[in-house]
Homo-oligomer: A and B are copies of this chain.
Amino acid sequence: MITSGPTRQYIDPVRYMTNGSSGRMGASLATAAIAAGHDVTIISGPVQVDYPSQARVIPVITTEEMLAACEQEFPRCDGLIGVAAPCDYRPERVEGHKIAKTGQPITLHLIETPDVVATMGAKKKPEQWVVGFALETEDARFRALVKLEKKNCDLIVLNGPEAMNAMENQVEILDRGGEAVAILSGPKEEVAAGIMQAIQIKLMK
């Protein structure tokens, strides 16, 4: 199972919060997983990317929908590659009507959305594995390892914000001992093949 793309959290019927995730890494990972002989289910936020036709794609909009789809699908999967960038804050209150401009500032109270990878990490059975992704702008390796631990991942893939909506990527794959099991860079297709290879070697016996 692969989560892919961004999610959206609406502020009112028109405005929402999101991020620039394109779904390209998700599509590349799906292609690499299919090439390695796996059945692939993709839980995807709104993207323009073309997923491989052999993958089953479940489209979602919000983080809550992504989590619900994951909870439904994960029990029958070997593992989760959580490359999506779910929107991790939502307004405490969503306005039913479009907020009208008044010239005055407005205050938005944001609360965290559920953490999809952490929820799956907490629920995984001993034979299942979870690979998380961390996009950090500072103290990158340290923060990635904290996330690996907190989300109960088996591996975490660390990349920078320049990866978002780009064609190329540069990543480090860290294991639970904090070791870099691979450092990969290049087109997303090649990086995805490298990540899939690391998953096969480290997590699939």
Query: By CB atoms of chain B within 10 A, which of A20, A87, A107, A135 has the most?
Result: A20
Give the copy number.
2
A157: min CB distance to chain B, Å: 16
Contacting residues, chain B, for A108 (C-beta < 8 A): 107-110
Tell me, in angstroms, the Cα distance from A101 to B89 when the chains sit together: 9
A60: min CB distance to chain B, Å: 15
Q: Is A143's CB under 8 angstroms from B100's CB?
A: yes
Contacting residues, chain B, for A75 (C-beta < 8 A): none
A108: min CB distance to chain B, Å: 4
Q: Is B13's CB under 8 angstroms from A98's CB?
A: no
Tell me, in angstroms, the Cα distance from A85 to B109 when the chains sit together: 24
What count of chain A residues pass the 8 Å CB interface test? 35
A30: min CB distance to chain B, Å: 20
A164 within 8 A of B: yes
Additional 7 contacts, C-beta under 8 A, given A14-B164, A15-B89? A14-B137, A14-B161, A17-B17, A92-B105, A98-B137, A98-B161, A105-B112
17 example contacts (A-B, Cβ-Cβ < 8 A) are as follows A14-B20, A14-B85, A14-B135, A14-B161, A14-B164, A16-B17, A16-B18, A18-B18, A97-B137, A98-B136, A98-B137, A103-B112, A105-B109, A105-B112, A106-B110, A107-B109, A108-B109
